[in-house]
Amino acid sequence: MDLTAGDLKQVLEMGRTLLSCQKVDELRRTTLSLLETIFRSEQINFFLIEDDGRLDFDGVVTRGIHDRYHRLFKVHYHPQDPFLKRFPPRASVLTMAEVIGRSDLRNSEYYNDFLRPQGIHHEMIICLKSGSRPTGVVAFFRPEHRPDFTRREKDKAGLLAPYLSSALEKNLVVERFRRQEKIIQTVVGDLPGGGLTVLNENLEPIYQGGRRPQVWPGSDRPDKKGEAKRLSLPPELRRAIEQMRNRTDPSSEERPAEMNLRLDLGGPDESATLRLRLVRDPDGPVLVFLTFDDQGGHPIPRHRLQSRGISRREAEVIDLIFNGCTNVEIARRLFISEYTVENHLRAIYRKTGVRNRTGLIHSLFHSV
């Protein structure tokens, strides 16, 4: 690897910049701006890759490529792209010379009718992955009068690939969570007394709100490695979910079916009625919504909180505070960040006119 200290510094600085990006499109635009400078390439494409392995043609972020050529690539030329014939590659970086001979390229329709009219002669790609699954591809182009991408530039791109892959994976996960949370907030409205749990396609919790019955004992306690345990759902609940999945078509526009299920919680006269609903995520799998009434109740009457302008989410935070939860525990149980918990606390303190948890508990108890 023939890289200088300046090259390594450039890679590290770009890596830090990319990891600080908060959204996928912000990351892609920042990437193209930095890569244009580093690799002296005025024409660059950044494609995302769908879960089924296909390029997201419509969502490409680009510099220096006219929309007309993106439309042509989508409808006609992408099957002829020599890189896509070897995609996903084992290596994270490939140049045009590695996928097709120069004479074969010059004699191809792809080059003469598509690349050449754009002034493109040299190309290098970075394949981004999450584990073994491809998540994106960045393609750099240069005209014929410019030199081809060098071994040194390829090595530099190879060093950048892990930073870029990690930054993209982080932002894809965050945006997916935000979409799911938006769906949850839209569908749920006011929670019933017992609260809500939302499960992903693997029946793992991605959201919990309000109080809940212990139908999955100890599931929100971390194991020895500090990781949350998988929910221990009762067999009858798992069977009910599978029955609903089997009769619900994810591609259908019809409202998914609902089911009520009465569960024994293990104690005398302890039971809960659960309502099951499957809700489609437009960009992903079907989510499982469980709402229930656990015969419980919030330690502070809801109307008291509402009269002070406390939102439903802030009431959930207050509920957990009264149960003695720390900020870390609140964040884990509500599937939000500690930063978001702190924001909720600041809003709660402002609305209740207190400065800390002790003042909050004193204020709310004396208002009952």
Give me the residue label for tokens 């299920």.
261
Give me the residue label for tokens 């526009």.
253
Give me the residue label for tokens 């709310």.
364
pLDDT tens for the chain, 368 residues long, are: 678 888 899 899 998 899 888 889 999 999 999 999 999 898 999 999 988 888 999 999 999 999 999 999 999 999 999 998 877 788 899 999 999 998 999 999 999 999 999 999 999 999 999 888 899 999 999 998 999 999 999 999 999 999 999 999 988 888 877 776 666 665 555 444 456 777 878 888 777 665 554 445 444 444 444 444 455 677 878 888 888 877 765 555 454 556 767 666 554 444 566 777 777 665 566 778 777 654 444 456 666 777 888 887 888 888 888 777 888 888 877 778 888 999 999 999 999 888 888 788 777 765 54
Give me the residue label for tokens 């989410």.
313
Confidence (pLDDT) at 135: 93
Confidence (pLDDT) at 179: 72
Confidence (pLDDT) at 284: 62
Instruction: Give the DSSP per-residue string, 257-278.
Output: PEEEEEEE-SSTT-EEEEEEEE
Is 347 in contact with 309 (CB distance < 8 Å)? Answer: no
**Element housing 181 (H / E):** helix 151-188
Angle of the 338-352 helix axis to the 312-322 helix axis, nearest 10? 100
Confidence (pLDDT) at 316: 81
Is 194 in contact with 291 (CB distance < 8 Å)? Answer: yes
Is 191 in contact with 291 (CB distance < 8 Å)? Answer: yes
Residues ≥6 apart with Cβ < 8 Å to 366: none
What letter would DSSP give residue 9?
H
> CA 158, 163, 167 angle in degrees (round to 5)?
140
Q: CA dist 354 to 73, 217, 309, 342, 348, Å?
A: 60, 35, 14, 14, 8
Identify the CA nearest to 24 among candidates 155, 168, 151, 237. 168
Q: What is the pTM of this model?
A: 0.57
Instruction: Give the DSSP per-residue string, 200-256.
Output: -TTS-EEEEES---SSSTTTTSB-TTSPBPPP---HHHHHHHHHHHHT--TT--SPP
Is 258 in contact with 277 (CB distance < 8 Å)? Answer: yes
